[in-house]
Amino acid sequence: MLRVLPRRRRDQVVAAVVVLLLAAGLGVWFAVRAPAGYRVENRVITVRTGPHRDRPVPLDTTLYVPDTTPAPAVLLAHGFGGTKASVASDAKDLAGRGYVVLTWTAEGFGRSGGQIHLNSPDWEVTDASRLVDWLGHRPEVRRDGADDPRVAAVGGSYGGALALLLAAQDRRVDAIVPQITWNDLGRALFPESSGAPATDGVLKRAWLGALFADGLGGSGTAARAVPGCGRFAADVCAMYRQVAASGRATPAALALLRRSSPAPVLSRIHAPTLLVQGLADTLFPLSEADANARGITHAPVQVAWFSGGHDGGTGSAADHDRVRFLTAQWLDHYLRGGAAPADAFTYSRIIGYDRYDATVRTTAFSVRGGYPGLTAAGTTVPLSGPPQRIANPPDGTPAAVSTLPGAGFAGVSPATEVPGQAAGFQSGTLDRPVDLSGAPRVRVTAPVGAVLFAKLYDVGPDGRQTLVGGQAAPFRVARAGPTTVTLPGMVYRFQSGHRIRLVVDTADQAYAGPREPATYTVAVVSGLTVPAVAGTPLTDPAGIWYWVLLVATVVVVLAVVAALLTARVRRRRRQRAVVAEHADTPLVVAGLRKTYKDGFVAVRGTDFTVHRGQVVGLLGPNGAGKTTSLRMLLGLIRPTAGEILVFGHRVTAGAPVLSRIGSLVEGPGFLPHLTGLDNLRLYWRATGRPADTAGLDEVLDIADLGDAVHRPVRTYSHGMKQRLAIAQAMLGLPELLVLDEPTDGLDPPQIAEMRRVLQRYATDGRSVLVSSHLLAEVEQTCTHVVVMRRGELVASGPVADIIGDSPSVLVSVSDVDTAEPLLRKLSGISSVARADGGFVVELADLPRRDLVSALVSAGVGVDRVVPRRRLEDAFLALLERGES
């Protein structure tokens, strides 16, 4: 006879059964998905490379070998400026899936030898081919024949282009997965307008500078670097200097960049290719992957767009997982004979942002039948607006901002136009949503030779507008008549009730434009063509196991949600709280650390304090982490660990305490036709604070601008502009002034004036933190210094303490003529040189007391004997100590 359980008991049994089922499901999940074990080998592999294949170059490598071998291999290449450590996480993931993975640091970076040739077929591509040779002789690697390993090439950006170039050069490569990379490096850095010669492309000035800084600065040891060129090869360095100085591409520069481009060799690729390109990428937009897809004609090609890129990292968490899944699926099929990938193009659309940490949320779509390209059929949206006259500012300043390298995700951003420099054309209110998936096009008229920048805005019902895609399309008008402007590829939905606005700018901070002022008349002569690809929302390829994991995850999340909410409340209270012991201290930096998504650690556990009345110098070589530290201090980027206290308040983005800081961390940008005084007043008005709180009279007195403040800024020298920029930072008399290279480009008299300005400012309890590479000036200006190297704090303290003792002494005497021959005869002295009122004496083994005794015995009065060591000597000694 069945026994009926009481209801409460029955509920307990059901709950127990559910828990057991979830545990069983998780057990099956982990049994299926648990990664395999692997071992790691670090070694230096010397390859013979170069035009004649006879130059030995040592490469720093790591080999990941799974427990089960022989297995297919993956060459995993890193991005520009990175090392093998940058891809270690992906290497471990692939090794856990049973692949032999070889990572290496490209020549010219990290601990590898050689120079940076920008993926030259003679150098970096040959290096990779030699690594294929090496894998072909490893017993752990599956082979298809003698010296023919089963191998794929995977990489992002610099590594992605290498994968394409290697597949074109070495037919042994069985599959490739290039991500966020280029087709033609010349066109990527100098985007061309329709019908314009290649040399008329518009330079991506900000990106070019950011890329070459990686090679000029921290790409290798000083012993292997060439002054002014870092570890760049001579031809690459010369090309960079030429284009950076002129802002224009020469045929020779474009030829060098094309040498390092997949575009000329795509027809030679026979390896199945998965192209992954980012929507948040102003360096290598979707058009680069589009050109690669169209150029590969002898191999299967699949394309995926995701929400990340050079401006957006790995994108949303869902997109990051999708890219990993597509990569593994591609490799499994072409290296192991696994299930064939569906013949589908996939892309993502941003649907929102996490309100707490600004991470991206996306929906992915699948389009059967392969990649449709950037110009799929769509709709045409009429635009209205009369012809408009706009001004091109001298030297492109001031300029609108679309996005800048390192500025973060470029999905949408607020409007940043300069009045009088932008023409706007707008649609009517949309009566239905308009989907965009591709590259919009529009026809405009403008004077021949004009360089302009087109961008799209989404205008909401409340008038608020956001920049779609975070990108601008530069174009140079090559001929009279209408010009077809193709905007960057984007994925976006304009909602019903919104309007679409096309803006044409004369200047953009990310690009180099004409230096001469001019006025243009701009008009639109067509509607906006909006391509759209209808896709089906994607389900997770893992099928039922996804739902098992999802249910288990929900259970776990429900179990800990109360603890998370409690922790969040406590954290917010902590952020709002004032640390009482530091309430009167301008700046306290404790345990500060910044690690980027690629694993690069820019700042490592830095600690220092700035007290009232101090002028503190922040010192370090290029790549030391100075600018990163300043950006965290100003709330522009978030630390990975540690904290920054300004007058006891923890610094976060937009924190009210930031109003107590004045800063200059970028070059000054003023309206040239306005006076210096008008520029200052306009800036202060833009802050929204009352005019009587600017402290304008005191600021002008400290900055000592004199009558020049009443002249137009276009008449200022560089030094005057720098002092005006410092005055702007001083407005409101902030208690902490933060300056990045304030003496950059100044001559000695101007530097001396700036020194007096900073010293005068650090009075009445105010403080200054200044980053500079002029050590002699820091020694004279600053009371304290903080020395950094490779993100780590090397030393901090008063300047006198950092300089310390020295064998070099300054001796002031009563009778110079009598003392000089005596000093030169004394043993134990290395050198003697006259100085004001005495001598600089370099002691070898003669004690100071014996030096003084010898002078006094000869009847020479000794006024003082003090150490004579420069801050530069101490600085170099600290860095050398850090290297050892």
Tell me the CATH number at 408: 2.60.120.260
Predicted pLDDT at 847: 83
pLDDT at 348 > cutoff 60: yes
Cα 585 to Cα 762: distance, rounded to the nearest angstrom: 14
Within this chain, do residues 168 and 224 fall inside the same structural domain, yes or no?
A: no
Lowest-pLDDT choice from 160-174, 272-286, 301-315, 382-396: 301-315
Residue 499: inside a domain: yes
Cα 854 to Cα 861: distance, rounded to the nearest angstrom: 11
DSSP 3-state of 599: coil
Cα 642 to Cα 242: distance, rounded to the nearest angstrom: 42
On the CB side of 842, how many CA atoms lie within 13 Å of its CA? 4
Domain's final residue, options 536, 562, 590: 536
Confidence of residue 601 (pLDDT cuts 50, 70, 90): confident
Within this chain, do residues 239 and 279 fall inside the same structural domain, yes or no?
A: no
CB atoms within 10 A of CB 750: 17
Range of the domain at 631: 580-802
Across the chain, what does the average pLDDT equal?
A: 83
Positive or negative torsion for Cα 821, 823, 829, 830: negative
What DSSP letter does each residue of 746-758 carry, written as one string? --HHHHHHHHHHH
Residue 564: inside a domain: no
Amino acid at 473: A
Q: What is the CATH number of the domain that holds 836?
A: 3.30.70.100
Residue 466: inside a domain: yes
Predicted pLDDT at 718: 80
Confidence of residue 750 (pLDDT cuts 50, 70, 90): confident
Domain's final residue, options 515, 536, 557: 536
Predicted pLDDT at 695: 86
Cα 755 to Cα 780: distance, rounded to the nearest angstrom: 8
> Considering all CA atoms of the chain, what is the largest pairwise distance in Å, rounded to the nearest integer?
125
E strands present in 582-735:
587-595, 601-610, 615-619, 641-646, 649-650, 661-664
For residues 682-708, average pLDDT: 84
Cα 233 to Cα 260: distance, rounded to the nearest angstrom: 13
Residue 371 tokens, joined: 């990649």
Predicted pLDDT at 875: 64
Tens-digit pLDDT profile for residues 470-509: 888 999 898 899 999 999 999 999 999 999 999 999 998 8
Confidence of residue 93 (pLDDT cuts 50, 70, 90): very high
Residues whose CB is less than 8 angstroms from the CB of residue 661 and which lie 6 or more positions away in sequence, other chains included: 633, 634, 646, 734, 735, 736, 737, 738
Over its C-alpha atoms, the chain yields an Rg (Å, rounded) of: 31
For residues 103-110, average pLDDT: 94
What are the angstrom distances between the C-alpha of 372 and each of 342, 472, 531, 639, 726? 15, 23, 11, 41, 53
E strands present in 256-394:
273-278, 301-306, 344-353, 360-368, 378-381, 388-392
Give 466's strand partners: 414, 458
For residues 386-391, average pLDDT: 95
Q: What is the CATH number of the domain that holds 796?
A: 3.40.50.300
Is-contact 59 70, C-beta < 8 A?
A: no
Confidence of residue 197 (pLDDT cuts 50, 70, 90): low
Lowest-pLDDT choice from 125-134, 299-308, 364-373, 429-438: 364-373
Tens-digit pLDDT profile for residues 831-877: 788 876 788 887 778 888 888 888 888 888 888 776 665 666 656 65
List the Cα angle 61/65/66 in 5-degree steps: 150
Predicted pLDDT at 323: 92
Phi first, then psi, for residue 452 (nearest 5°) are -130, 165
Within this chain, do residues 150 and 264 fall inside the same structural domain, yes or no?
A: yes
Within this chain, do residues 161 and 197 fall inside the same structural domain, yes or no?
A: no
Distance of CA 523 to the CA centre of its chain: 36
Residue 157: inside a domain: yes
pLDDT at 883 > cutoff 70: no
Mind spelling out the 3-state secondary structure of 482-546?
CEEEECCCEEEEECCCCEEEEEEECCECCCCCCCCCEEEEEEECCCEEEECCCCEECCCCCCHHH
Number of domains in the chain: 5
What are the angstrom distances between the C-alpha of 310 and each of 4, 260, 399, 414? 64, 19, 22, 19
Residues whose CB is less than 8 angstroms from the CB of residue 558 and which lie 6 or more positions away in sequence, other chains included: none
Tens-digit pLDDT profile for residues 504-522: 999 988 888 888 899 999 9
Residue 461 tokens, joined: 């019902």
Give 437's strand partners: 491
Within this chain, do residues 163 and 199 fall inside the same structural domain, yes or no?
A: no
Tens-digit pLDDT profile for residues 667-680: 667 888 889 999 88
Is-contact 166 145, C-beta < 8 A?
A: no
pLDDT at 879 > cutoff 60: no
For residues 332-358, average pLDDT: 81
Within this chain, do residues 798 and 823 fall inside the same structural domain, yes or no?
A: no
What are the angstrom distances between the C-alpha of 126 and each of 117, 168, 474? 12, 11, 35
Residue 386: inside a domain: yes
The DSSP bridge pattern shows strands 490-494 and 434-438 to be antiparallel
Cα 341 to Cα 353: distance, rounded to the nearest angstrom: 30
Positive or negative torsion for Cα 112, 113, 114, 116: positive
Mind spelling out the 3-state secondary structure of 206-219?
HHHHHHHHHHHCCC
Domain's final residue, options 237, 258, 279: 258
pTM score, two decimals? 0.61
Residue 8: inside a domain: no
Predicted pLDDT at 670: 85
Within this chain, do residues 796 and 822 fall inside the same structural domain, yes or no?
A: no
The CA-to-CA distance between both ends of the chain, in Å, stands at 83
Tens-digit pLDDT profile for residues 536-562: 887 544 433 344 455 556 656 665 676
Within this chain, do residues 169 and 204 fall inside the same structural domain, yes or no?
A: no
Within this chain, do residues 239 and 274 fall inside the same structural domain, yes or no?
A: no
Confidence of residue 311 (pLDDT cuts 50, 70, 90): confident
Within this chain, do residues 254 and 401 fall inside the same structural domain, yes or no?
A: no
Confidence of residue 32 (pLDDT cuts 50, 70, 90): very low
SS3 content of the chain, % helix, strand, coil (to 5): 35, 30, 35
On the CB side of 221, how many CA atoms lie within 13 Å of its CA? 11
pLDDT at 26 > cutoff 60: no
DSSP 3-state of 32: helix
Predicted pLDDT at 6: 43
Predicted pLDDT at 667: 65
Predicted pLDDT at 89: 92
804 sits in the region (left: phi over 0; alpha: psi -120 to 50; else beta) called left
What are the angstrom distances between the C-alpha of 631 and each of 148, 667, 740? 49, 15, 10
Question: Which residue did the predictor score with more confidence, 293 or 792?
Answer: 293
Within this chain, do residues 633 and 772 fall inside the same structural domain, yes or no?
A: yes
Percent of the chain past pLDDT 70, that is, above it, reads 83
For residues 183-191, average pLDDT: 91
Q: What is the CATH number of the domain that holds 58?
A: 3.40.50.1820
For residues 141-166, average pLDDT: 95
Confidence of residue 357 (pLDDT cuts 50, 70, 90): very low
DSSP 3-state of 418: coil
pLDDT at 356 > cutoff 60: no
Residue 754 tokens, joined: 């700036």
Question: Which residue did the predictor score with more confidence, 290 or 849?
Answer: 290
Within this chain, do residues 502 and 382 fall inside the same structural domain, yes or no?
A: yes
Predicted pLDDT at 5: 38
DSSP 3-state of 567: helix
Residue 350: inside a domain: no
What are the angstrom distances between the C-alpha of 109 and each of 48, 101, 291, 481, 592? 17, 20, 29, 48, 26
Percent of the chain past pLDDT 90, that is, above it, reads 39
pLDDT at 351 > cutoff 50: yes
The residue behind tokens 């009926």 is 4
Lowest-pLDDT choice from 175-179, 526-530, 560-564: 560-564
Residue 762: inside a domain: yes
